[in-house]
Structure 1
Amino acid sequence: MTEAKTPRIAPLARAEWTEAARDVFAFWEGDEAREKGSRSNTMMTLANHPPLALASLDLGKYFILNSTLSPRQQKLIVLRVAHRYNSTYQWGHNSLTARQAGLTEAEIAAVRTGGSSPIWNREDRMLLTAVDQTCDGGKIDDAAWAELTAVMSCQQIMDLIHAAGYFTMVAWGLVAIGVQLEDGLSLSGRASKPE
């Protein structure tokens, strides 16, 4: 996965911090970030456009806190999207949190292969196939749809489709803008040792 070596839109400079920008910093990190800025390059970059940032973050918050999908299912979706769109930043951060959601190293690696990897159980394979088909134009074929409806509720299927779309939008933004991984975070999502 490759992205721009330098950001195309830089994190917001301190001299430009408005109250609206500080609302973006504080969205996930609270009052300390409001005063000192976010630790996240994504948040510091999104602060260049607070109304867009907050609208997008509200939808992302839904997926993280209120979705009918399990944390494991959410991580499978976002990692598959990150791989498909070569979003280094998205992959780095979400491979770390995927481990916290219970995915193994082998499963994280197999996300790159998609639903065809023999490592997956039926439900994981079905989910990854649905993500791929959604990303290939939004049409889930009849066979995949039948598998989804056999094991997922209407709400779960809607969350899956919308999560694939949301995380695709995020991937496009991260890649196009050139948001850089924070110092000390490697592509694998693990902290890298200083050289």
Structure 2
Amino acid sequence: MANRISPLPREEWDEAARDIFAYWEGDEARQNGSRSNTMMVFANHPALAKASLDLGRYFMLESTLSARQIKLIILRVAHRYNSVYQWTHNSLGARQVGISEAEIEAVKAGPSAPEWSREDRLLLEVVDATNAGGRFSDALWQDLSAVFDKRQIMDLIQAAGYFTTTAWMLIALEVEVEPDFAEFSRNRAKQDD
């Protein structure tokens, strides 16, 4: 399988594309291109890439959610849609923020897996409800409201949607996992206290 939209060829690297390469990786990527196939493909449309990256940065660094919560959301989305690229990079990132192998595997079973705390179970239920059209039962909403504040609930729902659209893009474009991804893929989320 090859990317349906190729990584941006060097002869097309303008400043806007270089800004995308450098978004997470800095000056070396600005000069040499990103090591990430996602960034190299997304650089074909810098305005869209920038808007998407800014929202992703919000979830990773500024939202009310912890790094653990963000990784659980991404992994659940990746599993639901079989987003291999997302799963591969974020299962590594999940380990980097302290999510155990058993928990990573339990993401596949979903909210009913015995590994989950009440908070984790609810988080996975939010991902599933959001991905099922955004319809929340009154019981789920009541449970959510007892555990999360209104900003956290809004961040949970929006994050589930954002990482779903990211999965759809990665799947539709058939973005390939880099053979050396473990050498450069790292958790980009804030560090939990």
TM tier, shorter chain?
A: over 0.9
Give the counterpart letter for 2:156 in structure 1: L
CA shift, 1:185, in A, is 4.0
For residues 144-171 of structure 1, the C-alpha deviation after alignment (integer angstroms, 9 at most, x for no partner) is: 1111100101000000000000000000
CA distance in 2, matches of 1:183, 1:15: 24
Give percent identity, aligned residues only: 64
Aligned equivalent of 2:74, options 66, 71, 78? 78
Unaligned runs of 5+ in 2: 186-193
* Correspondence 1:119-130 to 2 at 5 A: 119-130=115-126
Give the counterpart letter for 1:43 in structure 2: M
For residues 11-36 of structure 1, the C-alpha deviation after alignment (integer angstroms, 9 at most, x for no partner) is: 11111111110010011111111000
Give the counterpart letter for 2:38 in structure 1: T
> What TM-score, normalized by structure 1, do the two folds share?
0.92
Aligned equivalent of 2:87, options 73, 86, 91? 91
Aligned equivalent of 1:63, options 59, 78, 89? 59
* Correspondence 1:19-34 to 2 at 5 A: 19-34=15-30
Over the residues paired in the alignment, what is the CA RMSD in angstroms? Answer: 1.4
Give the counterpart letter for 1:175 in structure 2: I
> What TM-score, normalized by structure 2, do the two folds share?
0.92
2:4 — aligned with what? 8
CA distance in 1, matches of 2:180, 2:21: 20
Return closer, same or farther for 1:185/1:38 CA change in 2, 3 Å cut-off. Answer: closer
CA distance in 2, matches of 1:152, 1:114: 19
Q: Choose between structure 1 and 2: higher helix proportion.
A: 2
Unaligned runs of 5+ in 1: 190-195
2:101 — aligned with what? 105
* Matched residue SS, 2:139: helix
Give the paired residue count: 184
Aligned equivalent of 2:50, options 49, 54, 65? 54
1:146 — aligned with what? 142
Is 1:182 equivalent to 2:178 in the alignment? Answer: yes
CA distance in 1, matches of 2:141, 2:181: 38
* Matched residue SS, 1:120: coil
CA distance in 1, matches of 2:58, 2:126: 20
Query: Runs of at least 4 residues of structure 1 off by over 4 A?
Result: none
1:192 — aligned with what? none
CA shift, 1:184, in A, is 3.0
CA shift, 1:102, in A, is 1.2
Give the counterpart letter for 1:129 in structure 2: E
For residues 58-114 of structure 1, the C-alpha deviation after alignment (integer angstroms, 9 at most, x for no partner) is: 000000110101111111100000011110000000000101111100000010110
